[in-house]
Amino acid sequence: MILDAITLHNFRQFYGTQRIFFSKDKSKNVTVILGENGSGKTALLNAFSWCLFGQTDLPDREDILSEKAVAEAADAGELEAYVKLEFNEGLKTYYVTRSVRGKKLEGNRLEYSEPVLTLEYTDETGKTVVPPHPQATINRIIPEALRTYFFFQGETSGNLTQKEGAEEIKKAIRVLMGLEILEQTAKDLEEAKKSFRHESAAYGDPEAQKLVQEIEELERQLSEKNEDLRGKIRNRDLVESEILGVQDKLRSLGASKDLQERKDTLLDQERKVYEQIKDVRTATIEVLAQRGYLAFCGNLVKETNVFLREKLAGGEIPLEMNHRFVAKLLEKGECICGNGLKGGAARRVEEWLKAADPELEEKFLNLFADVRLMEHDRIRLFDELRRLRSFKDNLLLNLKEIQEEIAEITAKMEGQDVAEVAALARKERELKSALKEMDEKVGRIKGDISSLEKTLKAKQEELGKKPFEGEAAGLAKRRMDICENIRKTLEEVLSIQSEDVQNRLQQKIANVYSRMLHKSYEAVIDSEYNLSFYKYMGDQRIPVRMSQGERQVTSLAFVGAIVDVAREQTEDKSFIEFGGEYPIVLDSPFGQLDEDHRKRTALCLPSLSNQVIVMVSGSQWKGPVEEEMKANIGRIYHLAYHDPKENPAVKFEYTEIQEGEKDA
Amino acid sequence: MTLEEKKEKFKELLSQLSREELQILSQAMAVERSKLNSRHDNGEVIEEIKGIVRGVIQ
């Protein structure tokens, strides 16, 4: 989506018909709209939202018609306000108009009709098409949930990365990146497959029919369990974020700050000790898997050793001497003691050598060596297990000390004179206990799911082996297999795309964030698109409490990253339409920033999207912002506000849009 | 993974599908795309997909 123009007709203070053309030049991709406070920047930003989604965040949101136009209209006369947006999406040019009519009543009051949305586009051949569901078409191009991201209000946007309302935002990101459509197609193919399976069973023998019924019942149970699990996980996540909120609050209160910071350190140590204990367990399992059998070979090794030595002493086993070595001594005619090996001595040795079985001799020698090695390995195994055990005991001791100190701090906080601290500490303890219970429940459900899945798999395999006799059953089976095969491929595509989107968002956010913010915070995005920020104190990572300006930069970084990743995804011209080009429309993005951050943000903004529209006041624009963005300006407009308070000749406020000289 | 590598991976995955499967996939995706954001009843989409499968596999 690249914006061509917006036309406003009697929309709020934009009296009459006025138009803005946006720069589409890739090297001069910024359109600047300058306007002082109250001149209509926010109304203009809301004109985009109203046109596309019928939504505004304006006060008196029902009052769409210009006051001046209403005042000038005759009594009982009808007036119209509309916003028309022209934009390109691929090779199509879209024209969206939302209009509303109002009938003038007594005292300049208005009776509004329902707003009307119209949409049409011209395709690459110049043909005009009117889609049957205009709102759905718009939502496919630009999801409504991301409205506040693409049409960004700097002063009120706060932190768009927070969890509130995040579900819708996550869904919108998934739609934008092509994940939603992949997932939905895979789900629907699964349902189609089940339906063909049901059909095939109707033609099968009673046993196959029974199997299908059992599979369907298992799938029903599994679906219920999964639904339950999702709900439980959502609830435990809410409790977890509530705990983080309480800890955050405790960190900010003077009476508990030091205690909470010590507790943070201890909690971090506790986490690390748990990880170490887990590592020790893994190492122990590995040692036992590789050499555990030696623990049970004690008697065998001992008895074999005794047996071999007895046989050796009794002469039943040849000497521990290598046959080839003795043959070489005979050949040289020299004994190992240095004397000659000739005459009778040599004959006796030759006879012994002839009587000896070299193969048997070698096997005995090898057996001796193996038994000794086993004995050695057995000792090493017990040493290793003792070492791991002792390490684990020390870790458990350490863990106990850490947990005792945490409990002590919690008790101190709960006993604090400051009632707020005591109440928060109690709340944290209660929430943690609830979280523990929830985790146990989640674990139980996961166990149930795993066992249901195992049974289901076995039944499905059993059904797969059943012959499907008859043409109709065979056809249904083929259709079922084909649905399954396509679904599996889609699942793989989905998994690659999900991972790719997450990695790219993570990289982009970190990159944009480091360019915009002078503090070195670490930005982390998880697979659910939750964004968290951390700073380091020594090697300890703690969540960041942000200033308002930092929150604004964070939101901008998030917006920039989403738009940038969406833009990158369009390079993939495979069968699925991923991503897309999107503009960023920003109202007062520099308002809450200090000079350094204004400069950094201004430098970074033009690179965030192929099209950037910035609405800004003269005071925010002049200086570092203008300096940094000057080279990227494609078009510039001024909002000339006519104020009745300043000019008695003006009876009703209105704003005129005037195109300016970009080099002026 | 670069975008080029990702594209190659997708190509490889799709090359494992038969001509009929690819035909069903592209038609099913077109149905899903047209219903995205406007679906009221999931059953409709599933029935359409089943129809596509029946049409291709006869």
Buried b (16+ CB within 10 A) or exposed e, A16-40: eebebebbbeeeebbbbbbbeeebb
| Residue (of A157, A42, A289) closest to A558 by Cα position | A157
Q: Spell out the SS3 assignment of A45-110.
A: HHHHHHHHHCCCCCCCCCCCECHHHHHHCCCCCEEEEEEEEEEEECCEEEEEEEEEEEEECHHHCE
Q: Is B53 on the interface with A (CB under 8 A)?
A: yes
State the first-to-last Cα distance of chain B, in angstroms, to the nearest integer.
Answer: 40
Q: Is B11 on the interface with A (CB under 8 A)?
A: yes
How far does the CA of residue A147 sit from the closest CA of chain B (Å)?
15
Instruction: Judge: B29–A576 Cβ closer than 8 Å, yes or no.
Output: yes
Q: Is residue A542 scored above 90 in pLDDT?
A: no
DSSP A588-623: STTTT--HHHHHHHHHHGGGT-SEEEEEE-HHHHTT
Sheet holding A30-34, edge to edge: A151-153, A583-587, A611-616, A30-34, A633-642, A654-660
Report the range of poorest mean pLDDT among A40-49, A358-367, A631-640, B19-28. Answer: A358-367
Q: What is the pLDDT of residue A500?
A: 87
Q: How distant is the alpha carbon of residue A80 from its chain centre?
A: 45
Q: What is the pLDDT of residue A543?
A: 73
Cβ contact A560:A567 at 8 Å: no
Q: Is residue A7 scored above 60 in pLDDT?
A: yes
ipTM of the complex: 0.95
Question: What is the overall mean pLDDT for chain A?
Answer: 86
- Average pLDDT of the segment spanning A337-366: 77
Residue of A nearest to B45 (CA): A188
Tokens standing for A582?
């999107």
Q: Is residue A525 scored above 70 in pLDDT?
A: yes
Indicate the residue of B11, B13, B49 with minimum beta-carbon distance to A189.
B49
Residue of A nearest to B56 (CA): A479
**Looking at beta carbons, which residues of chain A come within 8 Å of B46?**
188, 191-192, 195
Element (H, E) at A285: helix A257-291
Indicate the residue of B21, B33, B46 with minimum beta-carbon distance to A486.
B21
**Residue A346 C-beta-side C-alpha neighbours within 13 Å:** 13
Instruction: Judge: A496–B6 Cβ closer than 8 Å, yes or no.
Output: yes
Q: Domain residue spans in chain A?
A: 2-142+634-659
What digits encode the pLDDT tens for the residues A59-106? Answer: 776 789 998 898 888 877 899 999 999 999 888 999 999 999 999 888
Q: Is residue A156 scored above 80 in pLDDT?
A: no
Determine the CATH number of domain A2-142+634-659: 3.40.50.300
Q: What is the pLDDT of residue A32?
A: 96
What digits encode the pLDDT tens for the residues A220-261? Answer: 999 999 999 999 998 998 999 899 889 888 988 888 899 998
Tokens standing for A641?
């506000």
Residue of A nearest to B2 (CA): A500
Instruction: Judge: A489–B11 Cβ closer than 8 Å, yes or no.
Output: no
- The phi and psi torsions of A643 (rounded to 5 degrees) equal -105, 120
- Spatial neighbors of A438 by CB under 8 A, at least 6 apart, are A232, A235, A236, A239
**Looking at beta carbons, which residues of chain B come within 8 Å of A485?**
17, 21
Q: Is B27 on the interface with A (CB under 8 A)?
A: no
- Report which listed range, A343-352, A399-408, A474-483, is most confident: A399-408
Tokens standing for A659?
């195109």
Q: What is the pLDDT of residue A560?
A: 84
Q: What is the pLDDT of residue A159?
A: 53
Q: What is the pLDDT of residue A137?
A: 86
**Looking at beta carbons, which residues of chain A come within 8 Å of B14?**
489, 574-575
Instruction: Judge: B6–A184 Cβ closer than 8 Å, yes or no.
Output: no
**A-B contacts at Cβ under 8 angstroms:** 95
Q: What is the pLDDT of residue A162?
A: 54
Confidence of residue A636 (pLDDT cuts 50, 70, 90): very high
DSSP A455-524: HHHHHHHHHHHS---SHHHHHHHHHHHHHHHHHHHHHHHHHHHHHHHHHHHHHHHHHHHHHH-SS-PEEE
Confidence of residue A589 (pLDDT cuts 50, 70, 90): confident
- Average pLDDT of the segment spanning A607-624: 91
**Looking at beta carbons, which residues of chain B come within 8 Å of A477?**
none
Tokens standing for A290?
């590789």
Q: Is residue A663 scored above 60 in pLDDT?
A: no
Q: Is residue A315 scored above 80 in pLDDT?
A: no
Cβ contact A610:A26 at 8 Å: yes
Q: Is residue A576 scored above 80 in pLDDT?
A: no
Element (H, E) at A397: helix A358-414
Gap between the Cα atoms of A70 and A541, Å rounded: 59
What digits encode the pLDDT tens for the residues A194-213? Answer: 999 888 877 777 888 888 89
Answer left, alpha or beta for residue A610, where phi above 0 means left and psi between -120 and 50 means alpha: alpha
Cβ contact A617:A588 at 8 Å: yes
Output A544 or A636, whichever has higher pLDDT: A636
**Looking at beta carbons, which residues of chain B come within 8 Å of A479?**
53-54, 57
Confidence of residue A573 (pLDDT cuts 50, 70, 90): low
Q: What is the pLDDT of residue A427?
A: 94
Q: Is residue A158 scored above 70 in pLDDT?
A: no
Q: Is residue A577 scored above 80 in pLDDT?
A: no
Cβ contact A637:A610 at 8 Å: no
Q: What is the pLDDT of residue A319?
A: 57
Beta carbons within 10 angstroms of residue A539's beta carbon: 7
What digits encode the pLDDT tens for the residues A29-48? Answer: 999 999 998 899 999 999 99
